[in-house]
Amino acid sequence: MKELNSDVLDGSVQLQVQGLSKHFDVKHQKRKATLRAVNEVSFEVRKGETFSVVGESGCGKSTLGRCIARLIEPSAGKVFFEGEDIGGLRSNALRQLRKRVQFIFQDPYSSMNPRMRVRAILSEPLRNFDHSEEYIEQRLLELLQLVSLHPDALDKFPHQFSGGQRQRLVIARALALEPSFIVCDEPVSALDVSVQAQVINLLGDLQKSLGLTYLFISHDLSVVRHISHRVAVMYLGRIVELGTSQELFANPQHPYTQALMAAVPRFEEGARGAPIGERLKGEIPSPLNPPSGCAFRTRCPRAQTICAQTVPPVVRFSDDHSAACHLL
């Protein structure tokens, strides 16, 4: 796997998330309940970087990505894209945002219509923006070239491709309108390990050649480690630690991050990391009934009395490294 691109960063903020929450009203045991998927999350993403959000399944990272791309509406908080509050965008302004911010879904099998040929799948977003037939034909060939697929692909159906090729098509469709920011939601987790690196390398090459910014959502720290400039660690809807990839992997501060890092396989040593569950006691609590105070306290080996009473404050170690724990 190639290392991340450092020459695309110019340091300017492209996306700001301020106090974002997403709660769902659900029925639980025949009663109304609130599922707190994302709680008061704040961070910034800089132009040209790969900002990763990691955590166990159910921590709220995919919901966060969907709120940022405005596929769903947040319950509270704001998202600014290039200085503009996207929560206030309606109709045509929201359509224009779709050009600039795209989303790559986890599963290439279900994210394309199996009855449509690739030509129709890739041209759909272009037609939605009323491009000419001549431009669309030319753009389709450019898109296939960008993702290293042969022009013959245009006349085939999705089922005629391998999983890795299908994810290349999904990436091509996301690139069709020339976005500058892409939310990648577990883009390789449905793929065989043997093709994961190829798709990750492709995303890296595209970032470099097109100057893209990625919000990369993953539970796989061994992937995140190689491709991220900065990483936010989520637990039960909150960011518990945020730092540069280098610092977070070398010097994790939050007990949850430390447990996650200890579970990352160390390929260079030929060793296997222990599954997270073996490093932490108990199950991840339900977001329907999160623990009081620090949500991690029911599994934390260092929990104290105060951890059940108060949400821990965010402690800043530097401009690029912070964590939320009472013991820091």
Residues lying near ligand SF4 in the complex (CB under 6 A)? 254-255, 294, 296-297, 300, 302-304, 307, 312, 325-327
Pick the closer one to ligand SF4 by CB: 146 or 327: 327
Tokens found for residue 110: 């279900």
Cα–Cα distances in angstroms (integers) from residue 17 to residues 43, 76, 206, 291, in the given order: 5, 11, 25, 25
From CA 49, how far away is CA 47, in angstroms rounded? Answer: 6
Pick the closer one to ligand SF4 by CB: 71 or 311: 311
Q: State in angstroms the smallest separation of the CB of 56 from ligand SF4.
A: 15
Q: State in angstroms the smallest separation of the CB of 261 from ligand SF4.
A: 14
Tokens found for residue 302: 């260092």
Pick the closer one to ligand SF4 by CB: 113 or 292: 292
Q: 81: closest CA among 97, 63, 60, 62?
A: 97
Q: State in angstroms the smallest separation of the CB of 182 from ligand SF4.
A: 32
β pairing state of 181-185 and 230-235:
unpaired
Pick the closer one to ligand SF4 by CB: 96 or 304: 304
DSSP code of residue 216: E
Q: State in angstroms the smallest separation of the CB of 232 from ligand SF4.
A: 16
Pick the closer one to ligand SF4 by CB: 141 or 306: 306
Pick the closer one to ligand SF4 by CB: 232 or 300: 300
Q: State in angstroms the smallest separation of the CB of 23 from ligand SF4.
A: 22
DSSP code of residue 236: T
Q: 255: closest CA among 292, 294, 293, 306?
A: 294
Tokens found for residue 213: 């910014």
Cα–Cα distances in angstroms (integers) from residue 87 to residues 48, 69, 81, 119, in the given order: 23, 10, 10, 33
DSSP code of residue 212: -
Q: State in angstroms the smallest separation of the CB of 297 from ligand SF4.
A: 4
